[in-house]
Structure 1
Amino acid sequence: MRFGLAPPNYARWFDRTAIADVCTHAEQVGFDSLWFGDHVVLPRAEADVFGNAYLDVFPLLGHVAALTDRITLGTNVLVTPYRNPIVTAKEVATVDQLSAGRLVLGIGVGHVRGEFDALGVPFDERGRRTDEYLEAMRVLWEQDCATYQGRWVSFRDVCPLTRPVQQPLPILVGGDGPRSMRRALQHGAGWAPGQGTVDQLEHKIDQLRAMASDAGAPCPPVVARWLIHPIVAGAPRPPIPHRGELRRPRLDPAEAREQLDRINALGVSEVIVDIPAHRESYRATIDLLAEQILR
């Protein structure tokens, strides 16, 4: 099982200096991948759950590609309906080129209605747009002269100018419900479920396997996000005051390894570790993970 890290591009302190420190250190201590989220704007009432900032994912990925050598770079997830797919296809291909083929594109339909409203994108069309946008992007990634005709995207005999190093480009579909599972099967992609307990993850994977069996298709690889607040053995566990941290349980190394053993037994191919975004302790938490948990 591979291990990824989800650095906090949603935190103001994750600036130029912190990006270099966190990402290069994660590579040095043996993480396999780095994953970044995607939001453009947020409704004020929900902003504190998502963080106090959001670096745009494509410039960030290009910057991290220049700082690192071997580690995989990914989106978990890019909200696909937000952007023109022709532009997105080129941004994705550019990052894959600059990283020498290290990009995994995690896509999602989005769920923050107020963000869709601000961007002028119909919320109720987001699933169908995501499917069409992905189809159109794949045509642009795979052909030197591309043509596509859809409901929202149409082009004929265009030259994409930049194509990914990886053919095909690895895709993950993010989401929790049957629609995201069907989307992963439809597009021959991996599946990235949302946050939850190990019991919930087990139920979701059972559902995914049943759907794959019914479709006569192989079960997609699963890349699971693991929210955790690692603590040293015997450390105090005060109440968690912030609503954005409530789903991140405090676990000592033995408890964390027990959870990881259960996740591994489910056949998960990669775990994306999501730790508290505290500037003063972030690097120390990476070391605690590397030395006492992910070994």
Structure 2
Amino acid sequence: MRIGVTVPNFGPEATVGSLRAWAALAEDAGYDFLMVGDHVAATADVTAAYPGPFWEPLTLLGYLAGVTRRVELGTTVLVVPYRDPLLTARSLAGIDRLSDGRLIVGVGIGWAREEFAALGLDPARRGALTDAHLETVLAHWADDVLPHAGHVVDTRPRPHRRPHPPVWVGGNGAPARSRAVRFGQAWHPLHPPAGWLRREGLPALRAAATAAGRPVPALAPRIALDPGDDHLPDDDRLTGQGHPDQIRADLDDLRGLGATHVLLDTARGGGGHEQQRALLTDAARWVG
């Protein structure tokens, strides 16, 4: 089971120096991958949760590909409807090439209604748009030359990884699980409650795969990393919250459930970037 970290690519502390420090931490502390979030139009609903400035993730991953050598690089999650699918396919393929095949493509449908409006998109259609765009992205990764909008398009360079970088579908609900079965190599649930994956999430994923007649995607959750001095009741905590013993037990449980990757998110615990990096440096000694 591979362990990764989120890189907070937003807020006043998200300077070039801080982002480089996060990348160095991931490499030096022995983490396996790092991931960044996505917003394009920083409307009020976005900045209420993620204060600016917000670094555009594909630009940032191209930069981080050049200052890292070992860790995989990904999105948690790229909001698929926000970008033209041909541009998305080419941008991601370029990052995968420039990083020698270290890209992980976490995708989602988005949630910020004002942001959708600012981009001229109907949020009610975000699921359908995501599916259509993913079909286009995957098609452009599969061939060197393809028809696109009535023209013949050279899609090269194609991704380094074949057939393409792993696609993780984010979201906890039934549509996300169905989309993971249809398009993804992994399901990427976000901040699941303690015990929920074993009780509900994974049985529902297996049922969706059976109904579709397709393989069950791998499990690659994003969990909180929010340790404290006290043991918390499981009914009141997220996976990754509570006493370090509880967090270690959560990771053991995820390993037993067959998780291939686990992404640690320090934002739930609060604190500035230096405090969060210190937490990850300390956690590297007991989460592996």
By the TM > 0.5 criterion, same fold? Answer: yes
Return the match for 1:171 from 145, 167, 171: 167
Q: 1:247 Cα shift?
A: 6.3
Kept after mapping to 2: 8 A contact 1:230/1:275: no
Kept after mapping to 1: 8 A contact 2:240/2:246: no
Return the match for 2:243 from 246, 249, 252: 252
**Runs of 4+, deviation exceeding 4 Å:** 246-250
Return the match for 1:269 from 257, 260, 267: 260
Q: Distance in 1 between matches of 2:21 and 2:7?
A: 11
Correspondence 1:213 to 2:210: yes
Alignment partner, residue 229 of structure 1: 226
Kept after mapping to 2: 8 A contact 1:198/1:263: no
Q: Structure 1 length as normaliser, TM-score? A: 0.87
Q: 1:58 Cα shift?
A: 0.9
Matches within 5 A, 1:61-140: 61-140=61-140
Give the secondary-structure state (helix, strand or coil) at the position aligned to 2:284. helix
Q: Distance in 2 between matches of 1:101 and 1:86?
A: 20
Alignment partner, residue 10 of structure 1: 10
Q: Deviations over 1:221-253 (max 9, x none)?
A: 01101112234x57xx9xxxxxxxx96975332
Alignment partner, residue 280 of structure 1: 274
Among all aligned residue pairs of Structure 1 and Structure 2, give the percentage whose two residues are the same amino acid.
Answer: 33
- 1:21–1:124: structure 2 CA closer, same or farther, 3 Å change rule? same
RMSD (CA atoms): 2.2
Correspondence 1:294 to 2:287: yes
Return the match for 2:193 from 180, 194, 197: 197
> One-letter code of the match for 1:199?
G
Kept after mapping to 2: 8 A contact 1:193/1:225: yes
Q: Distance in 1 between matches of 2:45 and 2:159?
A: 38
Give the secondary-structure state (helix, strand or coil) at the position aligned to 1:280. helix
Q: Distance in 1 between matches of 2:152 and 2:159?
A: 19
Give the secondary-structure state (helix, strand or coil) at the position aligned to 1:281. helix
- 1:249–1:221: structure 2 CA closer, same or farther, 3 Å change rule? closer
Of 181-190 and 29-38, deviating more is 181-190
Kept after mapping to 2: 8 A contact 1:230/1:289: no
Q: Distance in 2 between matches of 1:99 and 1:56?
A: 18
Q: 1:285 Cα shift?
A: 0.7
Q: Deviations over 1:17-66 (max 9, x none)?
A: 11111111211111111011101234425523234431100110011101
Give the secondary-structure state (helix, strand or coil) at the position aligned to 1:142. coil
Return the match for 1:187 from 179, 183, 190: 183
